[in-house]
Amino acid sequence: MENSLEKALSTDCGMFGLWDYNNYKDIISYDDWEEVFLEDQDIIQEIKTNRFVPIYIHSDGCFQFKVKINEPLTERESKYVLDKSEKYLFCTDGDAYLSGIEYISDTVKENEGIKLNLEKGYYKVTVYLIEWDKEPGAKLDDGEISPDALPDFIIKLVKTDEVNQEYRTKLDTFDKMYM
């Protein structure tokens, strides 16, 4: 299992999510998806089951994500954290994805998500919003993003047995709005 994965992902729904594949593998049509994820209160219920962690930014588009498993942020990453979520609790059977919420289904294409092969169990999840463009050299002279630039988001998962404490269950990932 890799401890760090990085990829650009997109959404047209303003929301990404970390989700347990086995819990949602029966979603094979839009009608199936709609029953679980159409209304905010339905999504909040999924968060409370610990099978879904929202990265809700209220903005469509393509963003760079880095997933870190049982690994701290580097000094460089920590320096450019704009905000971080309270910890969510995530439970997985081992197969998990990070994708735009609209891609949650029995089949996820390579370009739609990051597949995570995790150890079965519970994870504390913290979502970091990175101010990558504040780092000197993040943009090249022509305005393009440097291949060495930090990601927009870092999702940190830490294996835990601490399930009997309070975790974030809010739909909005951050208490402030940025996008």
pLDDT, residue 72, reads 96
pLDDT single digits (tens) 133-144: 999 999 999 989
The distance in angstroms from the start CA to the end CA of the chain is: 33
The answer to whether 144 and 95 are in contact (CB under 8 A) is: no
* C-alpha–C-alpha distance, residues 17 and 19, integer Å: 6
R_g of the chain computed on alpha carbons = 16
Residue 112 DSSP code:
G
By the 8 A CB rule, do 95 and 53 touch? no
* 61-69/95-100 β-pairing: unpaired
Give residue 69's Cα distance to chain centre. Answer: 12
Q: What is the pLDDT of residue 4?
A: 65
How many other CB atoms are found less than 10 A from the CB of residue 164? 5
Q: Give me the chain's average pLDDT, please.
A: 94
149 pLDDT above the threshold of 60: yes
- pTM metric for this prediction: 0.93
- Determine the pLDDT at residue 178: 65
Q: What angle do CA 56, 128, 66 make, to 5 degrees?
A: 95
Structural domains of the chain, with CATH: 4-160 (2.60.34.30)
